[in-house]
Every structure is written in C-alpha cells, then in structure tokens.
Amino acid sequence: MIVILSKDISIHDKELIRSLLQNNGYKVREQLFGDDLLFSTSGKGQINKRELEILPGVARVAETTKPYELTSRETKAEDSIVCVGPVKIGGERITVIAGPCAVESREQIKEIAFAVRESGAVLLRGGAYKPRTSPYSFQGLGMKGLEYMKEAGEATGMPIVTEVVSSEIAVDMKDLVDMFQIGARNMQNFELLKKVASLGKPVLLKRGPSATMEEWLLSAEYLLAGGTKNVVLCERGIRTFETFTRNTLDISAIPVIKALSHLPVIVDPSHAIGIRAHISAAALASIAAGADGLTIEVHNNPDKAFSDGPQSLYPEQFEKLMRDIESFSPVLGKELLRLPKETPKKNDLSGVWSTAFSLVGEKVAFSGRSGAFAERALINAFGEDMLRLPVTTFSAVFDAVLDGSAVFGIIPIENSLAGSIHENYDLFLRYPDNVIVGEIKLRIVHCLMAMEETNIENIKTVRSHSQGFAQCREFLDKHSEWNLEIWPTTTDAVQSIVKEGEGALAIAAIASEAAAKANNLKILKAGIENNPQNYTRFVIIARRQDGDRQLLPPGMENTAPNKASLVFSVKDEPGSLYECLKILSGEGINLSKLESRPILGQPWNYLFYVDVTIPPDQKVFERACKELKSKSEKFHFLGSYHGV
C-alpha cells in the first residue's frame, strides 16, 4: 500500500499517519517519488483504506496487487518521463543512446561521440569498467576511460551513461557520470542496487539474461525504494535455446512492461542480436512495439574494437538507422528527440556550449483546445513541458507570434488525403513578418465521439472542422441522413457537445482520441478516416528576424535547412511560368510542390506556391532566388527549414 501525502502536510499530521500505520502492523518507509512525498508500507498489517483517505494530509491511497508497488502502474497511471540533463526519456519522443561498447582511448571516444551526435544521438554510451566472461578479456580503462568519456560528452553536449560494476566504484564515479547503467549480470546484485539508488542519479536498468519480467520490475523497485527517482528499463534479450543470435530479443516484453509499469522502456538490439547486419531491423521493430528509445553500439573501426566489434554499427550504418527512425516516427505519432544545440567543431573541447535561446517561460501557440491534433504536433516538436497558448483561429496563431504572446506557432498546411489547407497558405501573405522555421508530420486518426448515453443509431448531427469532414468522407457517405455542422476546430466541436450536455444526446463530433479523453466523451468508432495513410503536415512559424540569426525550434538549430517555401506571381504572357521554373531546373533545384491560388481582389490572376529542396551549396539556392525574383511580378520567401 502507498499513501501519497499532501504537499502542504504538517509535521504533526505526518507523524500521526505514520503512527497509525505502524500501530496497525505495517513497516513504513518515507520517500520522495517524483514530486510526491509518500509512505510506502510493507508487512501484514490491516487497516481500512477509507479511514486513511479521510485523514488530514492524505492526498490519496493506492493499493497495489503487485509486489513492485512503486514501479507499478497501479501506483502511477501516467507514464514517467526520466530527465538526464537536457535529455528526456519517455513521452512522445524517441530517445537514442549511442557509442562504443568500451572506451579505448581519448581519440576513439571523441571521434565516435561527434559521429553519433551528428546523426542524432542525444546520450553517449561507453564502458570504462567492463565485466567480461573471461578474466583475460579487456576490462576497460577504469577512471581514466571515464574521464575521456566525460570530456567527449561535454564537447558534444551529450550526457553520458556508463556501467557501474561495484558499490565501491559507484561512489568514485558519481561526479563523472550523468546516468548509471546496471548491466544484465548485476540486475539482481541487490547491494549494488541499494548503493546506486542512494546516490540519486538516473539509472538505466538492463534486464538479466534469465530474468522474468517480475524479477526485472522488482529490481527497479529496489532502485525507487532506495532513493532514485529516475529509472529507465532496458530490454536487451534473454537466454533461450537459440544459439544463432547472441540472445533472443523479447519484443513482447515492451508492450507488456509498459502496461504493468509507468517507467520508460528502451531496447538494446546490439546485445540482443549480436550480428551487425540485423541490428537495424531489430531496432525498428522495437520502436514499432512501443519502445521509448534505443541504445546502440557504434564504433569507428569495429573490426579492431577491443570488445563487441561484430555487433557494433559503422557510423554510416547508424546514420541510416537514424534517418529510418525519423521517417518511421510519424506513423506512431512520435518524434525523434534531438538536442537543442549546435555541434561544436571537433577541435573544441572547451566544455558544454550554450543554447542559442531559452524557452523558459515562453509559449507556443496553436489553434484549438486540449486534445487538438495541432497540440499533439506541438508536443512532438517541443516536448510535454512546453507552455502552450491555445487560440480560437489560425489567424490568431499568426497574431500571437507577431505580437510576442508566443515565440512560435503551429499551423497545419497540408493533408495527405484532403490536400492543401488554402486559408493558411493565404495567411502567410497577410503576415509577411512571420516565417516558416520548421516542419512536423503527424499521423491523423479520426474518431467519432459522443456523450456516454449516445449510440451511433441515435445520431442526427455531426460536428467537426471542414478538414475533418473531408478526411472522413467515405465513412460519412454511408450516413447521408446525418446533418454536418462545420466548426472552427475539431476540439471546438467536441466542447460544444460537453457544454450542451443532455441537449446533445443526438450529436456527435469527429476529432482525436485525445480530445475524447480530455472531455470524457465515448468513442463510438475509431479510425474513420478515408485511408490509414492520413498525415497532416504542420509548419512551425516564428517572427522573421533581421540579419542572419533566425529563431529556430529546439533540435533544429543543429540541422542545415534542406527545404524552402516560396510564393511568386508571373506576367500574363506565354511561357512566363515556364521561364521561372526553368531557373530552378537550371540550378539543379528539385521542385517538390507547385500549386496555384487566386490573388485576392485580382480575378483570374494567380500566385504560385512552391516547395523546393535546397541544394548542399547554399549559394546556388540564393542565386536562383535572386533570379526568380527578377523574373516574377511578386515574390515572397516564406522560409527555409529542415524538412521531414
């Protein structure tokens, strides 16, 4: 049983609760769990739960049916997010840890650190102390290796995670590591778990080669009970009768553990498979199964690695894997986590560089309310902790960015089924001081929802945004008797049902699953979009800055822009559009989108909206824009950004 105490509990009330529990046969441990102060109990005591709940200073009482109380989702229903410096593990982002099996030299760890950082890794792994099966194998460089690793981590801005093998060494390592790793062999080394827990650092706990899921979670319980607030579970394969691979990757453990526990779960496909050629496939399968991240072994010269060379990816293989993860993430409604910093030069080991700007206290604007698809895109781009500014219209998002109420805005621009959202394209011309600085693609799953008492047979009216109707046209065509009402946003449609209460028993809305949960509505049917390949492209906007320094979203400053959006009009004469497009073709610039829109107030005159790929040589693109501007009647540069 867990007793969560109120944040304003008095010392008197706390001791009263402790005495009551002890007098009823419980052993009581007081500890911090995240931001909560709680009493965790053990023993064969008996007490009426209701008697506890009504006591002054008790926030709630959680009774678990599992022996791992603190780890159990019964104690904490929402997912935990573990912070390691600026890196967050869990939530809606995929976190990738990478580096060599062992630190072999200062130059080796430095070179690999820069390589994996450039490809998108956010935590640096590497072993300074190596527990090996053979006493004659390389055992690591010890504290010297750890110092090399810390130096490389600071140079690249990546926190470091490394294995701790004994209680004595743990104390010496404390000030050099950002996250302790408990290796598979030590998963049930309970004295080590207690010592590491007492140091208060985040811990990555690997599953033992023969451990059951319950044993794994009980080891995590040791860490949480001992004082560690941040624990990440790592599936790395278990020992079975199969000998072709190093271990057998237990993919099924990922969704099962996430159902049993609130802790983040990542996967180590390197140790699970042990064969370089198959690691990327296992990594992608793990992400598909719901893993919150990966830890991957990467080496600049695997054939000469001191340990685990056959399972270490070459840097170019790791880079391809990261590109595949980035492309795959939107299918799962997630985003690949990247560090919000620029990569320093390789000869710069002066320490951690600072971010270009701080988002503390700043807001990002989106159109809609809680549960809107735009809010999900915002979370994927900026993280769960980002302050949000919900507004009622798309133009209000532009206004908020322009007047400084928000530092960024999220705007849907195109849907893979319904096409371009033309009203938002037009807004870029009305707000020339706002510019596109980023891009997010989000899979859209629409749900039909209503009050708990409503059945699909009772529906007479359905409410949603026009895009919601367009993307669910095939489903709606089967119910031609329904009256369709267009609302400013899908979440406005949802909230209208809540406000009308019993008067809305014959009304349904089309919106996201998150909107249904946020408003306590029943989902009558999920996945009603025309095609499961339904994605919306959102752009991130910011106020246009003077000079060369444009404000960019976190994680996008370190990536060169590879895409740009332009708008231009041409003279009303034969071949004028051809001449403009020929400029782009002549410079080898790929045209990924071309769409015309009528010019407001000028009937039968058109603007052309263009998306192009920026070539590696930025000067080529600048030259093409300059020439295109001279050939067109009107020219607007909407922004350059990293396209996904």
| Residue owning tokens 């099924």 | 252
Report DSSP letters for 508-530, one per residue. Answer: EEEE-HHHHHHTTPEEEEE--SS
Residue where the block lists tokens 């532009």:
398
Closest CA to 615 of 636, 591, 638: 591
Residues with a catalytic annotation lie at: 536, 538
Please tell me the number of Cα atoms within 13 Å of 425 on its side-chain side. Answer: 24
Enclosing H/E stretch for 232: strand 231-235
Residue 98 contacts residue 298 (beta carbons within 8 Å) = yes
Query: What is the pairing mode between strands 265-267 and 231-235?
Result: parallel
d(CA 633, CA 84): 52
H-run or E-run covering 171? helix 167-173
Task: Sort strands 447-450 and 507-511 into parallel, antiparallel or unpaired.
Answer: antiparallel
For the chain, the first-to-last Cα distance in angstroms comes to 47
Taking alpha carbons only, the member of 151, 424, 434, 138 closest to residue 309 is 138
Name the 3-class secondary structure at 440: strand
1 vs 65, 220, 290, 376, 470, CA distance in Å? Answer: 9, 17, 29, 35, 50
| Structure-token pair, residue 387 | 């302050």
Give me the DSSP letters along 90-150.
STTEEEEEEE-SB---HHHHHHHHHHHHHHT--EEE-BSS---SSTTS----THHHHHHHH
CB count in 10 Å sphere of residue 124: 28
Counting beta carbons within 10 angstroms of the beta carbon of residue 70, is it exposed (0 to 12), middle (13 to 18) or buried (19 or more)? buried
Give the residues across from 563 on adjacent strands: 613, 641
* Closest C-alpha among 337, 356, 309 to residue 88: 337
**Are 96 and 328 a contacting pair, CB within 8 Å?**
no
User: 619, 568, 554: which is closest to 597 by C-alpha?
Assistant: 568
d(CA 548, CA 559): 15
Instruction: Compute the radius of gyration of the chain from its Cα atoms.
Output: 28
DSSP, residue by residue, 557-601: TTS---EEEEEEE--SSTTHHHHHHHHHHHTT--EEEEEEEEETT
Tokens at 519, concatenated: 């408003």
- SS3 at position 383: coil
- List the one residue out of 403, 402, 408 whose CA is nearest residue 389: 408
